Amino acid sequence: MAATSPEPSLSGLSTAQYTSSTIAYTPSTSTTQSNTFTFPTYTSYPPFYTLQPNLNIRPAQLDLWSTLITSYAAHHRLFRISLSSPPWDLFTNASIHRALKAADIRLVLDHMSKPENGARIEWIPPTTRNEQSNTCWIYWKTVGEWADAIYGWVDETGQKGAVLTVYELRESDAVSGKEWKDMDEAMLRKVLNALVKRGKAQVFGQEENAGVKFF
C-alpha cells in the first residue's frame, strides 16, 4: 500500500514580505485600465490552496487570501462575489492544477467579514429564510471611504445644494472614470445612508431616479 502524502504546509512560505502594504493594489481611475491582474508570487505556491490545519500558520494564510481578494476586486472593480459563480482565476491556479475548495472559500470570506479582520466582506442576506447566503459585498474601500470619495467629488465639482439622481451618481458621464461608477445600487445606497447619518446628504425616494441632495 502506497504511503499517504503528507499534508501540504505553508511553513516554508515567508509571509512577512507579503503584507497588505506591499501588495495592495491601488486601482487606476482611467477607463482604459488593463484587465490583466498581476498575481503575487505566493499564489504559485501549491500549499496556498490548501487550508492549513496548523493554527499558527492559518491566520497568516487567511490574511494573504484577504489581501489577494481585495486587491483583485479593486483591480477589476468588483463590488460583490457570488459563491455560485466566483471569478474563475481568483481561487484557481490552472498552471499548478490547484484550487481552493468551495467550503474553504466560504471560510476565507467569513474571516474577512469579521470586524477584527477589517470587515472587508459583508454577506448579503438570502431571499429565502433559513438559507445560507452565497453572495457578499466586497469592500476594497469601506463604506466610509466610499462616502468620503463621493462627497469629495461633490464638493470639488461645486454640487453642494444640488439634487442628483442615483442614476447620475452611478452611470452618468459625469462620473466616468470614477471608482464607484456602476457600483451596485444597493451598495451605493449604503454609502449614501452613511452620508445621511453624517448630515451631509438627504435621499428622496427609493427608485434609481431617486434624488440625493448634498449639504
Dump pLDDT digits (tens) for 21-58: 333 333 333 333 457 899 999 999 999 999 998 988 99
176, burial (CB in 10 Å: exposed 0-12, middle 13-18, buried 19+): exposed
Beta strands in 2-114 (DSSP E): 80-82, 92-93, 98-99
Query: What is the rounded CA–CA span in Å between residue 175 and residue 118?
Result: 28
Tell me if 123 sits within 8 A of 139, measured CB to CB.
Answer: no
Q: Residue for cell digits 459585498?
A: 137
Please report the pLDDT score of residue 18 as a whole number: 42
Whether the pLDDT of residue 147 is over 70: the answer is yes
| Structure confidence at residue 1 (pLDDT) | 46
What average pLDDT score do residues 137-164 get?
95
Q: pLDDT at position 164, please?
A: 92
Retrieve residue 146's grid coordinates.
466610499
- Angle at alpha carbon of residue 55, lines to 51 and 58, rounded to 5°: 40
Amino acid of residue 14: S
pTM of the full structure: 0.81
Enter the DSSP assignment of 174: G
DSSP state of 101: -
